[in-house]
Amino acid sequence: MAPHAPADQPAAPLPPASGAWREGDPPGGRRWVSLAAPLPLEAGGELPDVRVAYETWGRLAPDASNAVLVLHALTGDSHVSGPAGPGHPTAGWWDPLVGPGRALDTERWFVVAPNVLGGCQGSTGPSSLRGDGTRWGGSFPFLTQRDQVAAEAALADALGIDRWALVVGGSMGGMRALEWAVGHPDRVSALLVLACPAASGAEQIAWADVQLHAIRADARWRDGHYHDAPDGEGPHRGLGTARRLAHVTYRSGAELAARFGRAAQDSEDPWRGGRYAVESYLDHHATKLVRRFDAGSYVTLTEAMNSHDLGRGRGGTAHALRRVSARTLVAGVDSDRLYPLAGQRELAAGLPHADALRIVESPYGHDGFLIETEQVGALVGELTKGR
């Protein structure tokens, strides 16, 4: 940001300590399922009073054979389709894919999108209230992808869905999609995995580690107990820095060069305290995130992504992948530098019912799986045609 606001302009109001959805906020299209018992956690212990927020589109068939599960990435939520509005700070993140006549045609399919366990848009996470009326904050337990899928399986049970016609997810959503197919093979008929490997590697964990350090180094992090801080301020600087770094990994160097080059932001002079255009771009995305997300959820979900390893406790990756019975498509983005194509190629080769790796062509890097909806829609069509 610029060093100081002009004297004739008031400073922008600070965002709340957390951008999480809270009790009393408009529900938007959300509904909730509460687990009947505490959720056992893979790392030990259990999580009580679990609620999973979700949204649906379309109508479930009498035999529940038309259900599709859509799983969001790190800073996504259950709002896959629809406009921004009360209860939803942003429009649907995959809106072109879901609706009448679209790839996930809601005249045909019953589309379900949960907010991930540990998230901040309605499902139980660090910003949620505990049984004693206080917020979990830094006491929220460590989660893995398998814990999150266990909560989603309870949601499916509550909705009367024994088997998904299709499970689809990209990035962190792809990790959970894979866990569904490996851990619950009898409940997944078809699987689409986008921009996601079989396990998080050293480079992805390293990028994540820097982001986690940025958040925890913010003096307002308060060991995660900032949600009801007396001054009302949260770790906005740390979360914003984490988002800036993450966003660089989400886009490609070629795209950033083509869009921004060395251009200055408007009339600002980078040599006199101003910004380059690319710095303004990162500032914009940081500001947007701190107003709609929660730093504690960012930490919880990032650590869960680092834990992603299909082979853990299953005799290795190759043995785990042999459990998958769903017809599967694996796709990677050709310009992705966060999860390069090599990881998806290895994943596709290890799956017993997968076609050859599909490549999404995009200049946008990792975010291509969100942006190139026409190509992704064609992949969905391959898996749903004739069903």
- Write the single-letter amino acid at 184: H
Given this model, what pLDDT does residue 187 score? 98
Class of the CATH domain delimited by 31-200+309-384:
alpha beta
Given this model, what pLDDT does residue 229 score? 85
Q: Which residue has the tokens 């590697």?
A: 201
Which are the contacts of 112, defined by CB distance < 8 A and separation ≥ 6?
Answer: 54, 55, 56, 67, 68, 69, 70, 155, 156, 159, 161
Across-strand partners of 191? 167, 328
**Which residue out of 171, 200, 307, 362 is catalytically annotated?**
171
| Active-site annotation holds for 308 | no
Predicted model pTM: 0.95
The Cα–Cα gap between 117 and 107 comes to 29
**Which residue out of 77, 147, 218, 336 is catalytically annotated?**
336
For residue 343, the SS3 value is helix
| Active-site annotation holds for 336 | yes
pLDDT (tens, 9 = 90+) of the chain, 387 residues, equals: 333 334 344 445 567 899 999 999 999 999 999 999 999 999 999 999 999 999 999 999 999 999 999 999 999 999 999 999 999 999 999 999 999 999 999 999 999 999 999 999 999 999 999 999 999 999 999 999 999 999 999 999 999 999 999 999 999 999 999 999 999 999 999 999 999 999 999 999 999 999 999 999 999 999 999 998 877 899 999 999 999 999 999 999 999 999 999 999 999 999 999 999 999 999 999 999 999 999 999 999 999 999 999 999 999 999 999 999 999 999 999 999 999 999 999 999 999 999 889 999 999 999 999 999 999 999 999 999 877
Residue 300 in tokens? 């919880």
**Which residue out of 77, 236, 366, 367 is catalytically annotated?**
366
Domain regions of the chain by residue span:
31-200+309-384
Paired sense of beta strands 67-71 and 39-40, if any: unpaired
| Active-site annotation holds for 95 | no
